[in-house]
Structure 1
Amino acid sequence: MKTQPWQLDVNAYDFRHTLSPQYGHLDTLRHVNNVAVHGFHTEARMRHLLTLLGREALFADDVLLRPRRTVTNFLHETHYPEDVICGVRLVAVGNDHYRLAIGLFQDGQCVSVQECLMGAWHGDQWVDLPAPVHAAFAAQLADDAALVALPALDDGSVEVHRYPSRVAVTARYADMDPDARIGELALARFVEQSRTGSLNMMRKPGMGLLVARVDIRYDRWVRGLGSVELVSALAGIGNSSFALRCGVQVDDRLVAVGESVMVLIDGASRRPTPLTAPLRQAMTPLMVAPSQASADAG
């Protein structure tokens, strides 16, 4: 998904605040972990919500304001301990959604942007935004900004049972958010775990992997903990990049679908390096052949 030029300008965001990375946000590559960066986007969104709707909007026992989709682009590594300026801009409002553009800036450059499509979850389904919420966001809608349609993300609900990599994980109390749902960052962490658990063939001396984009669609916001299974498969391979699709299942029901675009890099230069034939061969077991139904449809 192409980042628009205005998204790289901190002054294009009408709501801004500052966060300080913590030492605990660092990963084994010694930069801020991608899920922690996702957390910065989430924090920016919640601060924006707090400013617009007040504290009562932060928690709910009825209608939940939750993301329906987040598309996060990682443009540069985020480091510790320099502050990060977070910017939020409301760019669209509909009866059942609103859309936010969020940018993170460190040391004068944009390190990450996120497109976030928000919705209202009630009971066991997506519903229209409550009238006061819709009115409040509609009143704050910024001037038209150049937007790009969110890329297609097949839900995998038919094919997910055919994904070759399957890993059971234990959900923890800490995975629940204040509304006793498996939280957004827990789901992002599950998508991350699906990558680290299925890409062992890529871990070679002198090579590394960078996350370029993580696209997550949130299908269900389940209450409490359950039996979690992560299923994954390759969705496509390029010259030096590839896309890994993940499904998060709770009690055998699909709750989220994630797609991670990864780039193979040279460990010394930190530049993209081509996927060799042996690596491509090693990745073959993660691929799913088209189903007979798909073949017949084509």
Structure 2
Amino acid sequence: MKLQSWQSDPERYDFRHTLVPQYSHMDTIRHVNNVAAHGMHLEVRVRHQLAVLGQESLFSDDVLLRPQRTVTHFLRETHFPHDVLCTARLIAVERDGYHVATALFQQGECVGVQQAWIGAWERDGWRALPPATYDALVAPLSATPATIDDWPEKPLTQVDMSDYPVAAEISGRYADLDPDVVIGELAISRFAEQSRAGTLKPIRNDPALGLLVASVDLSYHHWRRGAAAAQVTCGVERIGNSSFALAGAVAVDSVRLASVRSTMVLIDRAQRRPTPIDAPLRRAMGPLSIDTHAVQACMGES
């Protein structure tokens, strides 16, 4: 998804909210980690929802407003303790969902953007937006459309959990549940992060090299009520010049909650710039690659 010029302009968004990064948001690379940044997109998206749909839209015991897909691009590192201006804009509204664009700005620069397609989840499946919700969303929709590139190809969804080279189980925790007693959006993001970190262990053997997350594309298939252990999987989907893509999935009791594609960039730590993936590193990635036939079969069905 190519960044449009308006996405880097905070004045082009309909809603603004300022957040203060916390010390606990930092990771071992000493910047705000990608899950915390995703959380900032979620925060401004929910606050925008409250502004448009009202306080009564915050909690639900039946129809949940939840993302069907989020595509997050990390454009620059976000740092503690500088304030982050979080912005949101409603892009489109359809009967089966609506599209919200969000962006994060720190010290005058756009550090990240996200596209989110929000749908209505009831019991065990997606349904049309409730009529009152649809009407309330259409009313504030700007008459001046904002151009957004087509969504990128979806993450792999038909690769069997056993076809990923790396798999692990993560114990369910009370903290994974959101206020509607559903395994929350950020819990799924953390599960994906953990599977990604496990996959990368064998190739993190050069202290001069580092890895940055450039983007995370999450498709949400099932919103599960109640905490439970999660099965997470991951593997290398493709390798470029200085970047590569990881694909994976999150499941509970064999029900897939989400599929994910993460784009990673190899960097020279000293220069903080992308660096080519050399032949030895490519060989190290070989055993971590997802079965080629499984990938091709999945892409043929998408």
Into which bin does the TM-score normalised by the smaller protein fall? over 0.9
Take 2:192 and 2:200, find their aligned partners in 1: how far apart are those partners? Answer: 13
- Is the 8 Å Cα contact of residues 76 and 112 (structure 1) preserved in structure 2? yes
Q: Which amino acid aligns with 1:151?
A: P
In structure 2, the residue matched to 1:265 is 267
Q: CA deviation at 1:284?
A: 0.5
CA distance in 1 between partners of 2:256 and 2:68 (Å): 14
Quote the residue 2:178 is aligned against: 177
Deviations 1:171-211 (A, max 9, x none): 21100001111000000001110111111123121110000
Q: Distance in 2 between matches of 1:288 and 1:185?
A: 25
5+ residue gaps, structure 1, are none
**Is 1:294 equivalent to 2:297 in the alignment?**
yes
Matches within 5 A, 1:29-178: 29-142=29-142, 143-178=144-179
Q: CA–CA distance in 2 between the matches of 1:202 and 1:43?
A: 34
Identity of aligned residues (%): 52
Residue deviations 1:263-298, cap 9 Å, x none? 000110010011111110010111123337839x79
8 Å Cα contact 1:157-1:254 kept in structure 2? no
1:209 alignment partner, one of 208, 211, 222 = 211
How many residue pairs match? The answer is: 297
| Equivalent position amino acid for 1:159 in 2 | D
Q: Is the 8 A contact 2:20 2:84 kept in 1?
A: yes
Residues 201 and 279 of structure 1 are in contact (CA less than 8 Å); yes or no, is this contact kept in structure 2? Answer: no
8 Å CA contact retained: 2:155, 2:218: no
Structure 2 residue runs of 5 or longer lacking an equivalent are none
Whole-angstrom distance in 1 between the partners of 2:115 and 2:226: 27
Give the aligned residue type for 2:265: V
Output the amino acid matched with 1:148.
D
| Cα separation, 2, equivalents of 1:202 and 1:47 | 40
What is the aligned partner in structure 2 of residue 241 from structure 1?
A: 243
Contact 1:211/1:262, CA 8 A, preserved across alignment: yes
> Runs of at least 4 residues of structure 1 off by over 6 A?
none
CA distance in 1, matches of 2:28, 2:155: 32
Q: What letter is aligned with 1:212?
A: A
Conserved? CA contact 1:65–1:119, under 8 Å: yes
CA distance in 2, matches of 1:155, 1:124: 21
| SS of residue in 1 equivalent to 2:49 | helix
**What does residue 27 of structure 1 align with?**
27
Distance in 1 (CA, whole Å) between partners of 2:297 and 2:147 is 35
Measured in 1, the distance between the counterparts of 2:240 and 2:81 equals: 34
Instruction: Tell me if structure 2 keeps the 8 A contact 1:20–1:83.
Output: yes
Q: Structure 1's 154 and 213: CA in aligned 2 closer, same or farther, altered over 3 A?
A: closer
- Separation of aligned partners in 2, 1:275 and 1:155: 23
Give the TM-score normalised by the residue count of structure 1.
0.96
How far apart are 1:157 and its partner, in Å? Answer: 2.7
- 2:281 aligned to which of 264, 279, 282: 279
- Aligned-pair CA distance for 1:147: 1.3
Distance 2:128 2:271 in 1: 49
User: How far apart, in 1, do the equivalents of 2:88 and 2:113 lie?
Assistant: 10
Deviation at 1:116, TM superposition (A): 0.5
Query: Relative to structure 2, which stretch is displaced further, 88-97 or 157-166?
Result: 157-166
Q: Tell me the distance in 1 between the aligned counterparts of 2:21 and 2:161.
A: 36
- SS in structure 1 of the partner of residue 274 of structure 2: coil
